[in-house]
Structure 1
Amino acid sequence: MKKIFYLITILTLATSCKKEVISKPHYIGEIFGGGIIVDVNRDSKGEEHGLIVSTSDLADSSLWSVTGSNGQKITNANSTTDGFTNCQAIKQAMAGYATACNTCLDYSTDKFDDWYLPATSELFKIYVQQDIINSVLSNDSNKITKPLAPQRYWTSTELDGGTFSAYTANMLTGKIELGNKNYFYCRIRAVRRF
């Protein structure tokens, strides 16, 4: 009788156990999601989220926008943390114009098409991790991928209250600097979230 009780107990425990898939945590410098992870964190539920940068520049020398000499203020494109929201505002306000944001929004690689031009803090995260990014891209044996250049890159963050300037990030110094949207040429590299 004891043997039957133990057998039933063991079978009950075995069938009630939940199988849980344990995945390795993502890390900075990991090739993932069409690019390279530059930021990773866990939310309150323990789920990982982060920022991925494209494996090459989308433009080596580009204006922020082509709107003529008067410039154009983009309402609500001044977030320092949310480049996606900035790009949506820019896309809506500047339909039909070539912009750095549209270059990123139109980009797709593998099955990923949710790229955008980073806000200032997102691009600064790339600056902080550029040694890792450049090491991975320099050693991946892929001729298409390119390390970050020690030059200025456009952000999607526009000067609040200004019509002519948007912010750039200098990958040599880490400084966030203003650039004239219509006359200043910078590099463009896209990001996406996971």
Structure 2
Amino acid sequence: MKRVFYLITIFALISSCKDEVIPKPHFVGEIFGGGVIVDVTKDSKGEEHGLIVSTSDLSDSSLWSATGSNGWKLTNANSTTDGFANCQAIKLVLAGYATACNTCLDYSTDQFNDWYLPATSELFKIYIQQDIINTVLINDNDKNTNPIVPQRYWTSTELDGRDFSAYTANMLNGKIELSNKNYSYSRIRAVRRF
């Protein structure tokens, strides 16, 4: 009798256990969050975070800031790792001017409107993963997406202490180069975090 009771108890316990759905981990090249995942990390709690790049360029030829030589201003957007903070600094100082950061901050896809111009290290991550990203974008059968091209893209990182220079990343060779913010034209592609 005890055996029957134990068997019924064990069966009831096993039957009452619900199937737990374990989310699949995100990966580089996954279409997610309005773009393509470029980088994935886990925090101390095991939660995933990462960087997503937009599925197309927002401009193929743009100034970093259209303030002209009389409007050169130092924005203190000198973080190499936090493009969002850089864009907030740029937006504050260059309010009313057309900037590469504003192009990204104004961009939205579906329900995502938290895009920004990447800092140098964020754009370098895109350079490192561009073959995977481009394979996804070429094969997604979406005429509105386009691959990353081997040209210069603006970063949100300004040269510290220089009011006329900001960095670009050359997607042909990965070089981070200084360019004149008001006279040099480069491409723009937005990123967001998850």
Asked if TM exceeds 0.5, the reply is yes
Task: Describe how 1:83-98 pairs up with structure 2 within 5 A.
Answer: 83-98=83-98
Task: Describe how 1:3-152 pairs up with structure 2 within 5 A.
Answer: 3-12=4-13, 15=16, 17=17, 19-70=19-70, 71-75=72-76, 77-152=77-152
Instruction: Tell me the TM-score normalized by structure 1.
Output: 0.94
Residue 184 of structure 1 corresponds to 184
Q: Distance in 2 between matches of 1:58 and 1:78?
A: 22
Helix, strand or coil at the partner of 1:103: helix
Q: After superposition, what is the alpha-carbon deviation per residue over 1:134-187, rounded to whole angstroms, capped at 9, x for unaligned?
A: 111111111110011110000000000110000000000100000100000000
Q: In the TM superposition, what is the alpha-carbon distance from 1:46 to its structure 2 partner?
A: 1.4
Q: In the TM superposition, what is the alpha-carbon distance from 1:111 to its structure 2 partner?
A: 0.9
Q: Distance in 1 between matches of 2:122 and 2:80?
A: 8
Identity percentage of aligned residues: 75
Which stretch shifts more, 114-123 or 87-96?
87-96
Runs of 5+ unmatched residues, structure 2:
none
Runs of 5+ unmatched residues, structure 1:
none
Q: After superposition, what is the alpha-carbon deviation per residue over 1:45-100, rounded to whole angstroms, capped at 9, x for unaligned?
A: 1111110000000000000001120311003x100000011001111111111100
Q: CA RMSD in A?
A: 1.4
Q: Distance in 2 between matches of 1:58 and 1:85?
A: 20
Q: In the TM superposition, what is the alpha-carbon distance from 1:7 to its structure 2 partner?
A: 2.5
Helix, strand or coil at the partner of 2:69: coil
Instruction: Tell me the TM-score normalized by structure 2.
Output: 0.94
Q: 1:74 corresponds to which letter in structure 2?
A: T
